[in-house]
Amino acid sequence: MAFRKTTSPTAREDMISGYLFIAPALIVLTLFVFWPIVQIIWLSFHEWSVITPEKPWVGLENYRNLTKTRDFPIALRNTVWLSVGVVPIQTLIGLFLAVIANQKIRGRGFFRMAFYFPSISSTVVISVIFLWMYQQNGLINFILRKVGLPTPMPPWMSNPNGVIAMALKPLGVDHLNPWLAGPSVALLSIMMMIIWTSVGGTMVIFLAGLQGLSQDVYEAAALDGATATQQFWQITVPLLKPIIFFVVTLGLIGTFQVFDQIFVMSQGAPAKTTLTLGYLVYQEGFTNFAMGYASAIAIALFLIILAIYFVQRSVLRTDQ
Amino acid sequence: MDPLVLTESTIPDLKESRPRGRVSQALLIVGFIVLVIVALIMFVPFLFSLATSFKTPPDATKLTFRTMFWPPAPTLDAYRTAFDSNIGRWFLNSALVAVVWIVGRIAMDTLAGYAFARMHFPGRDLIFTLMLATMMIPGIVLIIPRFILLQHLHLLNTYGALTVPFLADVFGIFLMKQFFESIPLDLEEAARIDGASRYQIFRTIVLPNTIPALSALAIFSFQGSWNNFVEPVIFISGGNTNLYTLPVGLANFKSLYLTNWPVLMAIAVITTVPMALFFLVFQRYFISGNLVSGIKG
Amino acid sequence: MTRSSISRRSLVASTAAGAAAISVAGRVAGQDASPIASPASPEAAFAMSRVAERASGEIRFVTFDNDEAQKTVNEMIGMFNGHYPNITVKFEPVAADYLTKIQTDIAAGNAGDVFYVQNEYAQDFMSRDVLLAIDDYVAEDGIDTGVYFDPLITAYTWQDKLYGLPKDWSPLGAVYDPDVLTSAGVESFPTDWDGLRDTLQKVKDSTGNVGLALDPNFDRFIMFLYQAGGNILNDDATEIILDSDATSQALDYMYGLYTDGLISPSADLGAQWPGDAFAQGLAPIVFEGNWMFPFLQLNAPDKTYEVAELPAGPAGKGTPAFTNSYSIFAGSKNPDAAWVFVNYMTSFEAQKFANTSGLAIPARKDLEDMYLELFPLRKPYLDSGAYATAVLYGPGGQKFAGDANAALQSLWAGQIDTEACKQEMVDAANTDINI
């Protein structure tokens, strides 16, 4: 092709074009990402109850209140349980399904599509559907009863009893420390829903990883007489380590921000056992109108996520 | 982020793989059954919600084996009520907002991605790294300052609140940057030698090759905007229902009309069907996008 | 707003879809309607506001009315303009998250000139100078605040100044299925705590099921608190009096009913709220407000029901009052016009029009008779106006309600006992309420 004969781009032209090209995105991001970051840090050192325009400086008081009030530790505890419960299970199930799907099984494409669909559906839609299914006379209890299994009383989403506490009760363990009582049945219901939603996504990632593995190692192992199980644990899993950590990191970051499901299904009830850190930011900011305090919670949440990321990263490094 | 370099080429076509080790035929069958069971578990909630949407409220609460997935007296009442409650408008809003997101992001993210990939200007790497760092910040963390900013700009409870903050996103820029970097430099170099300006190179050589990436970006933006909930529910709080998008409409409908499950399910169905259709047609891009980024999805 | 208890606003919304069946004045279907006889009390004559002579311009009117209620409001605005053509009213209903919208607008300084204020957060707003005191206007136009039920005026009085005129209200009353009670051997609805317990036991013995659907929410627990002579705050809101024997008594009684299997939360029965449980026939007795009736009209129009006052407790009768006011924003740029509007909307003429749909009980005593003629079954509700107490959470008290609910839920789950629950609620009150 023939171009208009112009002088070739100089470094200066490049620079101008460069800035021009990134300008629109940079403006939007500065306004809605960089500036808010600055502002939320600022806001966390002030107090603002929205109704009055004054925003007095309070120093570290909001941060100190994180430990003094009851809600932040509760939200932290719930979020940790959520994360600890959801991430390993969704990772393992995803890996397990991917291994199966990687075999010479008919209709893999169909399965992949079927499993993946929940993860791209609206969280609100899924929350409402599951809320409906978790009703006392809803689908889940219906199936359980038909099969002869007991259903929880109070029913799922109204049950604040910790599952570990419930399991230990018949053994005579009565007043368990709240941190050890486990997620409540209500929180567990939400966790099961989240696992259901995301298992397909993890499966797809693992599947891609499995597809990328070379077959030679397996052939050699098979010749040496290794069983399928041995091959799985000693070849597949180590080779997939980067992907496993990737999935786990994503899972942790995702579970720590859970908000939509709480907003739609429970708003933190019953007895604050489904109060998560993400929802607490909303509650303190937009229901209780303590915006300075809510900002401190938001920053704390971000720092926790950051810490998780760095811990994950260093574990990955030492492994390699 | 340590980007796991799973480029487009390593996905969606499932290779025929040989069974590893001594995987017997029996195990394959068991595996198949497991997959079928799991697939059922994935489908059942959606099927159940679809069935419920055609029932009357009393029927919906009385479950029997026969009527679980098949309404005894199918009716469109729930859908009628949904439309009376303005779901048509919500649908249009969701669609409109999606279009704006897609157009905005394709424009801004592509330009920025190309600049980061190919152009040289002072501060390029620093700016990009700063942007990347913000990818880890959840939306809920920044919701308060964004709310305040939108209030100052008088954009709260307007379409602006649903679109302007999302016109560019770091993930999209990252995606496009990766993609541009994977285009061989030779093509561009050749054009450069011929004397083309940056803009000409971009328009005539680079863009036509980018259609696959743009498609992925478009699909991704559509998915992000259609299901977006945190920001709309807070930025459009209390406005009249004409500004709601589908997820917001569903959530608010639920908090207002507690006992009418069929209508809730009808709204859920109407929200899910477009995404399902899109997904069926553009599967490949959904899944590839998910892999390349890994941040969303 | 915590959603763990159903806000009556949301119930009015849910029934509004069927409120079309209950149209204005006359065509009221349902068992408790009767043809309108000539009104027993003389209609209050309409008096032009004197403030109107100097009022004009536009005002913004922000409310949480849903579609059905909006129609009524629009007609009332039309009637208003018939008397006062100089004032334009811009009606801005808010579909959801009313409280959030109002507060953010207040923060931005552009709240509506007139808006609804609910009793729960009235003290919060009043203590923070969000509302305009209307005593001078009331005096100038010769309004007799005695024409409104006392608890409603009290709800909007702060430090001896009045900050709003009540729009409508509802107490809690007992709605029950007379047939179930009769077959259980209960002749009349119980009038005290022991009688209630007795009745519930008889119903349980007779039907095998729970007699009363009642959720462990603070805004229901409070009825027992009132009946035991307690409250959250003292009369002039200077002290938190939640830490009292009355609280312990009320907790022991309500929780005792639960542990003896005589009452049950609606979720355990498979309903969304007690009214739903009643409509589905899952429980024969509920303690709910006026919002029950439009809901029943819509969902169970053939169900027979009767209404009674709540049983009295050790300290006598008690019931919570839930109400809304027309209030003026303290920062309003057009307070005179805003007042004229408030004056009109709470007048006999306007309120008579507004209240014929039966969605709420009129705030004016002089509309009692008209209301009773339309809905004779609801007499117990009106009678309780003599002793009802508005639910007031105090300054900053909205958070208290959420914390108190959590304490009750823990108690119901058996995680704590009534003493610990009381302590939690008291701690929450001390932390959350700013006195």
What is the tens place of the pLDDT at every residue in B199-238?
A: 777 777 777 778 888 888 898 899 899 999 988 888 886 6
What is the tens place of the pLDDT at every residue in B139-180?
A: 888 988 998 899 889 888 889 999 999 999 998 998 888 888
Distance (Å, whole) CA A121 – CA A128: 12
Task: Output the pLDDT for position C10.
Answer: 45
Task: Output the pLDDT for position A316.
Answer: 66
Angle (CA) C168-C174-C175 rounded to 5° is: 95
- Locate tokens 């030779």: which residue? B186
Residue C267 touches chain A, beta carbons under 8 Å: yes
State what percent of residues in chain A have pLDDT above 70.
Answer: 95
B18, A104 Cβ separation under 8 angstroms: yes
- In this complex, the residue of C3, C106, C265 whose CB is nearest that of residue A267 is C3
Residue C419 touches chain A, beta carbons under 8 Å: no
Fold for B85-293, please state it.
MetI-like fold (1.10.3720)
Instruction: Collapse the DSSP code of C92 into the 3-class scheme (helix H, G, I; strand E, B; otherwise coil) and give the result.
Output: strand
Angle (CA) C295-C301-C306 rounded to 5° is: 80
Task: Output the pLDDT for position A128.
Answer: 93
Task: Output the pLDDT for position A9.
Answer: 53
What is the tens place of the pLDDT at every residue in A228-265?
A: 777 777 778 888 888 888 889 889 888 999 999 999 99
Are residues B61 and C280, on separate chains, in Cβ contact within 8 Å?
Answer: yes
Task: Output the pLDDT for position B65.
Answer: 78
Burial (CB < 10 A; 0-12, 13-18, 19+), residue A13, is middle
In sequence order, the 6+-apart residues with CB closer than 8 A to the CB of C80 are C87, C89, C341, C344, C345, C350
CA distance A128 to chain C (A): 14
Task: Output the pLDDT for position B1.
Answer: 34
pTM for the model stands at 0.86
Distance (Å, whole) CA C167 – CA C362: 7
Asked whether residue A5 carries a pLDDT value surpassing 70, the answer given is no
Asked whether residue A67 carries a pLDDT value surpassing 50, the answer given is yes
Average pLDDT score over residue span A171-182: 81
pLDDT bracket for residue B287 (50, 70, 90): low
Task: Output the pLDDT for position C5.
Answer: 38
Q: How many residues does chain A have?
A: 320
Residue of B nearest to C92 (CA): B240
Average pLDDT score over residue span B57-83: 84
For every residue of C170-195, DSSP letters joined together read EE-EEEE-HHHHHHTT--S---BHHH
- In this complex, the residue of C2, C106, C270 whose CB is nearest that of residue A267 is C2
The torsion angles phi and psi of C264, rounded to 5 degrees, stand at: -150, 145
Which has more confidence, C214 or A51? C214
Task: Output the pLDDT for position C331.
Answer: 87
Is the previous residue joined to C265 through a cis bond, with omega within 30 degrees of 0? no
User: A touches which chains (3+ CB pairs under 8 A)?
Assistant: B, C
Task: Output the pLDDT for position B164.
Answer: 94
Task: Output the pLDDT for position C43.
Answer: 63
Distance (Å, whole) CA C302 – CA B59: 17
Tell whether the torsion through CA atoms of A155, A157, A159 and A163 is positive or negative.
positive
What is the tens place of the pLDDT at every residue in B243-267?
A: 889 998 888 887 776 678 999 999 9
**Would you list the domain boundaries of chain B?**
11-75, 85-293
Q: Which residue stretches of chain C have pLDDT < 70?
A: 1-44, 95
What is the tens place of the pLDDT at every residue in B84-140?
A: 888 899 999 999 999 999 999 999 999 999 889 888 888 888 999 889 888 888 888
Tell whether the torsion through CA atoms of C30, C31, C37 and C41 is positive or negative.
negative
Residue C305 zone, left/alpha/beta (φ > 0; ψ -120 to 50; rest): beta
Q: How many Å separate Cα C253 from the centre of its chain? A: 24
Residue of B nearest to A103 (CA): B19
The torsion angles phi and psi of C350, rounded to 5 degrees, stand at: -70, -45
**Contacts A69 to C, Cβ<8 Å:** 431
Residues in B 32-71 with any Cβ partner in C closer than 8 A: 57, 61
> Which domains does chain A possess?
70-319 (1.10.3720.10)
What is the tens place of the pLDDT at every residue in C250-271?
A: 999 999 999 999 999 999 998 9
In sequence order, the 6+-apart residues with CB closer than 8 A to the CB of A237 are A244
Average pLDDT score over residue span A292-313: 89
CA distance A152 to chain B (A): 18
Are residues A123 and B199, on separate chains, in Cβ contact within 8 Å?
Answer: no
Tell whether the torsion through CA atoms of C212, C213, C217 and C222 is positive or negative.
negative
| C189's tokens | 């609805």
Average pLDDT score over residue span A29-58: 88
Q: What is the mean pLDDT of chain A?
A: 86
- Locate tokens 């009106």: which residue? C382
Residue C265 touches chain A, beta carbons under 8 Å: yes
Is the previous residue joined to B138 through a cis bond, with omega within 30 degrees of 0? no
CA distance C14 to chain B (A): 5
Interface pTM, i.e. ipTM: 0.85
What is the tens place of the pLDDT at every residue in B6-59?
A: 333 334 445 444 444 455 777 788 888 888 999 999 999 999 999 999 998 888
